[in-house]
Amino acid sequence: MWTVSRIVAMVILTGLSFMDYKIRKVPRDVLLLCMAGTVLYQAVTQNIDWMVSLGGGLIGMIFIGISKITREAIGYGDSLAILILGIYLGVWGLLEVLATSFFILGILALGCVTLRRKKSLAFPFYPFLTVGYLFGVCIGGL
């Protein structure tokens, strides 16, 4: 269901997706502002149980650790977005978005392998997060 918070989240994700696609970088200040807004939103509205929100944040922290270990094979900006979405959606909503995002990304990667594209080809991840989020909202799972 499209609520005001879902529309705001979609607008922010869309803007960040364009930024990630065009310049391959999302300003950390913007992400920190989004994180502060998300934490404040959850504290005020208490839309989801704080443990579920904390679980989503924990998944985001795991991705930040993966970014560090892999020397940003998954960028810190992508991991911060996952952390923010985890706090906003909670663990189950985040897993739904990630499953959809990685599934679509996997199909694209399979197409690139089939067409014998360069192995070092890198895709911006924000557009996939945005599509995963949009899919979740449209099917009513979020």
Average pLDDT of the segment spanning 121-135: 92
For residue 1, the model assigns a pLDDT of: 64
Domain that holds residue 78: 4-138
How many domains does the chain divide into? 1
Q: For 106, what's the count of Cα atoms within 13 Å in the CB-facing half-sphere?
A: 7
| Residue from 80, 76, 82 nearest 94 by CA | 82
**pLDDT band, very low/low/confident/very high, at 47 (cuts 50, 70, 90):** confident
Give the whole-number percent of the chain exceeding pLDDT 90: 75
Average pLDDT of the segment spanning 88-104: 96
Poorest-pLDDT segment among 2-16, 63-77, 117-131: 117-131
Q: How far apart are CA 136 and CA 121, in angstroms?
A: 27
For residue 30, the model assigns a pLDDT of: 93
Average pLDDT of the segment spanning 39-45: 94
What's the mean per-residue pLDDT of the chain? 92
Average pLDDT of the segment spanning 20-36: 92
Q: 77: exposed, middle or buried (C-beta count within 10 Å: 0-12, 13-18, 19+)?
A: buried
Contact 85, 57 (CB under 8 A): no
pTM of the predicted protein model: 0.91
Rounded to the nearest angstrom, the gap between the alpha carbon of residue 38 and the centroid of all alpha carbons in its chain is 13
- Whether the per-residue pLDDT at 141 is higher than 90: the answer is no
